[in-house]
Structure 1
Amino acid sequence: MNSLKKIWAQQAINYNGFITFIVTIIPLVIWPVINTTDYFYLPKVISLYVIIVVFYLVLILNRKALQSFVTLDSVTWLLLFYLLALSISVSFALNTELALYGKPLREEGLFTIMLYFSAFLIARHVAPTAKLYRYFLATGILLACYGISQYFGFDPVPRDWLRTDWTSSFSTFGNPNFFGSYLVLMLPLAMFFVFKRPHIITSIGYTIIFFALLTTRTRGAWIGAFVAFVSYLIMLVFVKRWSKQTTMAIRYIFMSSLLALIVFHLHSPQVLGLELGSIFTDAKTIMTNDNNLLHAGSNRMYIWLKTLDLVTVRPFTGFGLENLQLAFVSQYKDDMLVRFGRVMFVDKAHNEYLHIAVTAGIPALVIYLSFLVQIARKYSTRLAESDVYLALSASLIGYLTQAFFNISVVSVAFIFWAFLGLMAHVSTRNVH
């Protein structure tokens, strides 16, 4: 028995396998049982708990790996400081239980966020490769196909009372916005394979992802995807990777996008114009500061401005993770009744950065942004090493862009943190 323990302790941990499971299997997890209140979020959180606990058990048994698991560099220190800031905010939360465990249908308390951090630390031991992207994209295409089938009226999974009449696709993510966030992460990976081998076959994967993104009808995700696409092209020029093959790939991507847009428009003639038009209408409303300002972005401007006011109330500690709804109702119940004739359900700021500030305090936001900047500063040189980093960077840029209009959610956020870890991995070996 002792000899077996000794042998086990000397074995290398398959970090690659854990990350592959986290990014490819957990997004598939749903629990579609009639009369349950959560098909999508809690099942993924439980699955993430299980895989992370299994990982740490393996790590504890492997002394050699345990000693080298955490690399104490500037990135890790900032992550630890961010965790400390979040922990401090919990002690000042209006409701400590919510801050620790999260609320039903959100589940994003401190313990869940620590799972995200674990995914990041595991991913730091994995070098991004084309093979890894194939696994990620295979799941992405499968979920995109499911979302597309929902849009065309076929959903084999029984729907709960909330989603019975939804026409936008949400796949296994519970909401079109969240599905859109996931597809923003996947789209540059699909582009990567088109750039790697411009062909009808590689274009099919891109077309499926892009069309599914359209079916979410999520403007924030569309903007994020556009920024991801443009940033990808800029990085190709920056690292001097533009070639005749790149030009050919752009043609395939353009034709695939055009085909998807035509099919989408033929099925929903007015949707594309209305959604795109609303982007410019809201932008004009904000710039001119007219009477509809507070209603811009599906009332997001009202939420943002009121949330900014809340930040000034508790600038250093925030109101606690998952506690925004309590603070919002306490401060603005009467105002919402006057303006909208109802009390809005505002448990997220619909801007991830503003949400961090109001729930965990401005210092937490500063540390989080510093963490992101440090990763960008320290690892941007890798863009010249391999094309895999161009796709990964574009995915992260796209996600961080759509985060201005969306929320962090358990069905997607762990994938974003895993991608961050891949970008900041501690070894450059085996990168292809």
Structure 2
Amino acid sequence: MITVRPMRLLPRSPPLDVTEVLLLVVVFAVPVAVVPWASNAFELPKAALLCFLVLILAALGLGQFLIADRQRRLRWRAGWRHPLLWPVVAFSLALVLATLQSTNLLVSLRGSYERQQGLLTQLAYPTLLLLTVPLLRTRQQMARLWEALVWTSAPVVAYGLLQALGVDPLGWQTDATSPVLSTLGRANFLGSYLVLMAPLTGGLLLINRRRSLLALLLLGQLTCLALTLARGAWIGLAAALLTLALAWAWHTGQRRLAAMALGTTLLLLALLVLLNLPQRPLGSLADLPGLDRLASLSDTRAGSSAARLTIWRATLPLLQARPWLGYGPDTMRTTFAAVYPPQLVYYQGRQTVVDRAHNLWLDLGMSAGLLGLLAFTAVLAAFIRMAWRALRAACDRWTAAAWTALLAAVTGHLVDLQVSFDVTATAATFWLMLALAAALGRPGGLPATAKPVSQGNQPGARATGPVGYLLGGIALALAIPLTVQPVLADLAHWQAQQSRQPLTARLEAAERAVRLNPAEPTYRLTLAAVAVQRGDWSAGEAAARQAVALAPDDAVVWAALGDLEARWGALDSSRLAIAEQAYQEASRRAPTIAAYHTARGLILVQQGRLAAGTTTLQRAIDLDATDGVAYAYLGDAWLAQAQIFEALAAYDQAIRWLPTLSRAYVGLARCYEQLGNVGAAEAMWARARQLAEAVP
């Protein structure tokens, strides 16, 4: 067969109309959307932009339908027979039902602050598919979407490579293993995105005559993916490339290619097994950069592997408690806090919050239950059935390459999601790929080109008539409060957090953030913090209590109120009782998180309730035996009760786990003074002063 560029192979396609232009804007803009001067610089702008564009697309699509002629309406009605349609509709309905019975309706509707994956965003994905399929009327339009998806990754890859070279003008901070995060916000999210992109790029290479630029892009994608150090993405890529090779070999009858692909896969699996054997047969090879990441996959005693297994075990009972519709979209953070396994602090630290199960099926079960799981499985089954039939029946190279690339990308993505989760960019790309597959697998086939239409009868022209303008205005009226105002609020929130700005300006910015997005508790907590810095404790408490009213089931918000009242308690001891109650509420919602017990124990000791304080601090240590601060406070409690040797043991443990904690040395000095050991006491006082002077 002759291998040529798809664009040159096909007859002239209808010109771009406004709806297809908007679709291409979604393709290009969502993965690269970043607002560096916002607190949530990655997910919020991506989700807001996606929802904004989908609302406009939906309005234009409805306008086209209302004024369409009879023939066009008949074609749309025929689309209801599409094998992918009803599973997509069922999945959307499952999300709506799960939201209606959510444990936190507000969060499920708008999404959590960190992830932005509430019902509005979750419905945008299948809606994007339903709006895209009718737009792809010719093969050339599908080729245009395919190439747009591929070339959108070029700026993402270029920025990631710059970060790998240490040239990042924005200077993002990350707690991930790799600093290569590009416009996705984290290295593993970038890896997931590139797992989707690499097979699509490889598919274009199979049918494109001018391969140099595509080959360079693919090399950049693979290099950038390797630099992310994301093990799940690496395994997903291996699965994608194996699927790509086997599917293409099966279609073209190249048995040697299939044998090479299988042989390479077996060699890689053997290497992976050898790297993870406890006897370490490969020796120093397992310590090489990159391979050391793969060599720790089987380590269930520490690191992310141990954390994943622990989270999965804790999630299963939650699914059994609410099996049918789960807990609602984006509610896992508060739900999981109630069963938080204490050992997680040893695997991922005290500051990490669990808001995802890091597994596709468990995350779906938590957000939409069995109904959501079954509906999404039906979507995947319909896609696989279409791909299988299409590959068997494909009579031209372009169609076979398209189905091969799509099947490989979806396979790799699903493998990656067994230890990860979707973000806005990856989810939008995934559903656009399903839309491309749905257009390719449209019942009755797809013409090479559409019938010619006059300029006045083009869909874009019809949609811009009075009906289109009216629906577009309605869509804009909905889009501004739902998508634009949250971004503006986050810009103000970022300004309120800039410590170099005058307090008056920061307070005004915090108040503006609350006005623009009054339903977000995070903004009210920031307003409370800025008000306290100005010395207005009453205003700070009022803002913190408003945050509690918005998220009464969130232990983090209760703890923030407790922190404020505890600081106020240094000036007014009557506030200590309120602080203790707030920490108690936080502990009630997250009974196995040690930090809340530590904070409450300190307040109890300050109130003179030494027995209760000792018990509470011991509970914190039982949950986290490496918390030096809890040991230091426990030492204070024992010392106040004249239990010198118990206090000495507690202070020793505090220094063991936190050697720079001057409070522990002060406590030891007092213990030694009471024991009459003057030399040891002076040494401890000297060390405490040294640490205090070292603090800027």
Query: TM bucket by the smaller chain?
Result: 0.7 to 0.9
Counterpart of 2:236 (choices 208, 211, 224) is 224
Amino acid of the structure 2 residue aligned with 1:181: S
Q: Offset at 1:230?
A: 0.2
Q: Offset at 1:357?
A: 0.8
SS in 2 for 1:419: helix
Residue of structure 2 equivalent to 1:274? 292
Counterpart of 1:171 (choices 182, 191, 194) is 182
Residue of structure 1 equivalent to 2:317? 309
Query: Quick check: 1:322–1:347 contact (8 Å CA) kept in 2?
Result: yes
1:116 matched to 2:125? The reply is yes
Q: Offset at 1:38?
A: 1.1
Q: Offset at 1:344?
A: 4.5
SS in 2 for 1:37: coil
Q: Offset at 1:335?
A: 6.4
1:368 matched to 2:368? The reply is no
Change (3 A) 1:332 1:417: same
Query: Quick check: 1:336–1:343 contact (8 Å CA) kept in 2?
Result: no
Amino acid of the structure 1 residue aligned with 2:424: V
Query: Quick check: 2:102–2:328 contact (8 Å CA) kept in 1?
Result: yes
Query: Quick check: 1:295–1:302 contact (8 Å CA) kept in 2?
Result: no
1:92 matched to 2:105? The reply is no
Amino acid of the structure 1 residue aligned with 2:181: F
Residue of structure 1 equivalent to 2:191? 180
Q: Offset at 1:429?
A: 2.8
Change (3 A) 1:60 1:199: closer
Amino acid of the structure 1 residue aligned with 2:379: F
Residue of structure 1 equivalent to 2:595? none
Identical-pair percentage: 25
Residue of structure 2 equivalent to 1:204? 216
Instruction: Show CA shifts across 1:147-171 (max 9, x none).
Output: 1111111112243xx4389743111
Counterpart of 1:378 (choices 386, 389, 397) is 386
Q: Offset at 1:380?
A: 2.6
SS in 2 for 1:173: coil
Q: Offset at 1:46?
A: 1.7
Provide the rounded CA distance (Å) in 2 between the counterparts of 1:119 and 1:184.
Answer: 21
Counterpart of 1:392 (choices 381, 394, 406) is 406
SS in 2 for 1:424: helix
Provide the rounded CA distance (Å) in 2 between the counterparts of 1:107 and 1:190.
Answer: 29
Q: Offset at 1:105?
A: 2.0
How well do the aligned residues superpose, as a CA RMSD in angstroms? 3.1
Instruction: Show CA shifts across 1:296-319 (max 9, x none).
Output: 625101111111121111111211
Change (3 A) 1:337 1:165: closer
Residue of structure 2 equivalent to 1:44? 46
Query: Quick check: 1:15–1:122 contact (8 Å CA) kept in 2?
Result: no
Instruction: Show CA shifts across 1:134-159 (max 9, x none).
Output: 32222212211111111111112243
Instruction: Show CA shifts across 1:267-305 (max 9, x none).
Output: xx93211112223x34xx5xxxxxx3x866251011111
Instruction: Show CA shifts across 1:374-429 (max 9, x none).
Output: 22113432225211121122111111111111112113211111111111113523
Query: Quick check: 1:191–1:206 contact (8 Å CA) kept in 2?
Result: yes
Q: How does 1:124-163 map to 2 (within 5 A)?
A: 124-125=133-134, 126=136, 127=139, 129-159=142-172, 162-163=173-174
Change (3 A) 1:88 1:273: same
Q: Offset at 1:31?
A: 0.8
Per the normalisation by structure 1, the TM-score is 0.81
Change (3 A) 1:60 1:193: closer
Provide the rounded CA distance (Å) in 2 between the counterparts of 1:163 and 1:335.
Answer: 23
Unmatched tracts of structure 2, length 5 or more:
1-14, 262-286, 450-696
Provide the rounded CA distance (Å) in 1 between the counterparts of 2:230 and 2:434.
Answer: 23
Amino acid of the structure 2 residue aligned with 1:91: L
Change (3 A) 1:342 1:372: same
Change (3 A) 1:103 1:412: same
Residue of structure 2 equivalent to 1:238? 250
Query: Quick check: 2:87–2:378 contact (8 Å CA) kept in 1?
Result: yes
Change (3 A) 1:22 1:298: farther
Change (3 A) 1:325 1:237: same
Provide the rounded CA distance (Å) in 2 between the counterparts of 1:334 and 1:276.
Answer: 26
Provide the rounded CA distance (Å) in 2 between the counterparts of 1:227 and 1:171.
Answer: 24
Instruction: Show CA shifts across 1:186-230 (max 9, x none).
Output: 101221233334855432121111001011110111111110000
Provide the rounded CA distance (Å) in 2 between the counterparts of 1:158 and 1:75.
Answer: 43
Amino acid of the structure 1 residue aligned with 2:446: T
Larger-Rg structure: 2
Amino acid of the structure 1 residue aligned with 2:426: V
Provide the rounded CA distance (Å) in 1 between the counterparts of 2:147 and 2:351.
Answer: 45
Change (3 A) 1:378 1:51: same
Amino acid of the structure 1 residue aligned with 2:169: P
Provide the rounded CA distance (Å) in 2 between the counterparts of 1:164 and 1:88.
Answer: 36
Instruction: Show CA shifts across 1:64-104 (max 9, x none).
Output: 28945573234222222222222221122221111111011
Instruction: Show CA shifts across 1:7-49 (max 9, x none).
Output: xxxx99665433322222221211111xx21111111122112
Provide the rounded CA distance (Å) in 2 between the counterparts of 1:388 and 1:14.
Answer: 25
Counterpart of 1:411 (choices 399, 412, 425) is 425
Query: Quick check: 2:307–2:344 contact (8 Å CA) kept in 1?
Result: no
Per the normalisation by structure 2, the TM-score is 0.52
Provide the rounded CA distance (Å) in 1 between the counterparts of 2:349 and 2:229.
Answer: 26
Q: How does 1:262-301 map to 2 (within 5 A)?
A: 270-279=288-297, 281-282=298-299, 292=301, 297=305, 299-301=307-309
Provide the rounded CA distance (Å) in 2 between the counterparts of 1:341 and 1:201.
Answer: 43
Residue of structure 2 equivalent to 1:56? 58
Change (3 A) 1:242 1:354: same
Query: Quick check: 2:304–2:347 contact (8 Å CA) kept in 1?
Result: no
Residue of structure 2 equivalent to 1:331? 339
Provide the rounded CA distance (Å) in 2 between the counterparts of 1:277 and 1:321.
Answer: 35
Query: Quick check: 2:303–2:347 contact (8 Å CA) kept in 1?
Result: no
Change (3 A) 1:390 1:83: same
Residue of structure 2 equivalent to 1:5? none
Amino acid of the structure 1 residue aligned with 2:23: I
Provide the rounded CA distance (Å) in 1 between the counterparts of 2:109 and 2:103.
Answer: 12
Change (3 A) 1:15 1:389: farther
Change (3 A) 1:344 1:313: farther
